[in-house]
Amino acid sequence: MGSRYLNLVFAVSLLLQLLDLCRGNKVGVAYGKDADNLPSPDKVAQLVRKHNIQFLRIYDSDPKVLNAFKNTGIEFMVGVHNSDLPAFQSQSYADSWVKDSILPFYQATKITHITVGNEVTESSDNSANLVMPAMRNVVSALKKFNLQDRIKVSTPLSFGVLSNSFPPSDGTFKSSLAKLLNPLLDFLDENQSPFMVNLYPYFAAGDSSLEYVLFKPSSQAFDDPNTGLRYDNMFDAQLDAVHFAISNRNFRRLTMNVSDAQLDSVHFSLAGNKRSKNTKIIVTETGWPTKGSGKDRYASIENAQTYNTNLIRHVTDDDSGTSGVRYGLDTSGTPAMPGGELDVYIFSLFNENQKSGAEIEGNWGIFYPDMSTVYHLDFSGTISSGRSWCIASSEASKSALQNALDWACGPGKADCSALQSGGQCFEPDNLVSHASFAFNNYYQKHGLTDEACSFGGTGIVVYSDPSYGNCIYNVKSSDPNGRTWCVASKQASPTNLQNALDWACGPGKADCSSIQPNQQCFQPDTLVAHASFAFNKYYQKNGATDASCSFRGNAIKVDKDPSYGNCNYHCKIRKTEACKKTKVYEWDCWFLSNGLVPL
Instruction: Please answer whether residues 369 and 54 qualify as being in contact, where contact means their C-beta atoms are separated by less than 8 angstroms.
Output: no
* Whether residue 87 has pLDDT greater than 50: yes
pLDDT of residue 553: 74
* Whether residue 81 has pLDDT greater than 60: yes
Give me the half-sphere count of Cα atoms (radius 13 Å) on the Cβ side of residue 112.
Answer: 22
DSSP 258: S
**3 state SS for 483-536:** CCEEEECCCCCHHHHHHHHHHHHCCCCCCCHHHCCCCCCCCCCCHHHHHHHHHH
Beta carbons within 8 Å of 506's beta carbon, 6+ residues apart: 590
pLDDT tens, 300-311? Answer: 999 999 999 999
Query: Domain boundaries in the chain?
Result: 30-373, 389-462, 485-593
Mean pLDDT computed over 221-246: 94
Average pLDDT, the chain: 82
C-alpha gyration radius of the chain: 24
Give rounded-to-5 percent helix, strand, coil for the chain.
Answer: 40, 15, 45
Catalytic (active-site) positions:
119, 285
Topology (CATH level 3) of domain 485-593: Methane Monooxygenase Hydroxylase; Chain G, domain 1 (1.20.58)
Pairwise pLDDT comparison (356 vs 318), residue with the higher score: 356
* Whether residue 536 has pLDDT greater than 80: yes
CA distance 85 to 136: 12
CATH number for the region 30-373 comes to: 3.20.20.80
CA distance 562 to 13: 18
CA distance 140 to 134: 10
Mean pLDDT computed over 573-597: 39
pLDDT of residue 374: 93
* Whether residue 481 has pLDDT greater than 90: no
Peptide bond between residue 335 and the one before it cis (omega within 30 degrees of 0): no
Pairwise pLDDT comparison (90 vs 268), residue with the higher score: 90
**44 pairs with which residues across the strands?**
none
* Whether residue 133 has pLDDT greater than 60: yes
Name the pTM for this structure.
Answer: 0.64
pLDDT of residue 381: 59
Instruction: Please answer whether residues 78 and 114 qualify as being in contact, where contact means their C-beta atoms are separated by less than 8 angstroms.
Output: yes
Indicate the pLDDT class of residue 543, thresholds 50, 70 and 90: confident
Pairwise pLDDT comparison (435 vs 247), residue with the higher score: 435
Instruction: Please answer whether residues 39 and 46 qualify as being in contact, where contact means their C-beta atoms are separated by less than 8 angstroms.
Output: no
Instruction: Please answer whether residues 152 and 194 qualify as being in contact, where contact means their C-beta atoms are separated by less than 8 angstroms.
Output: yes
pLDDT tens, 323-346? Answer: 333 322 344 678 888 767 789 999
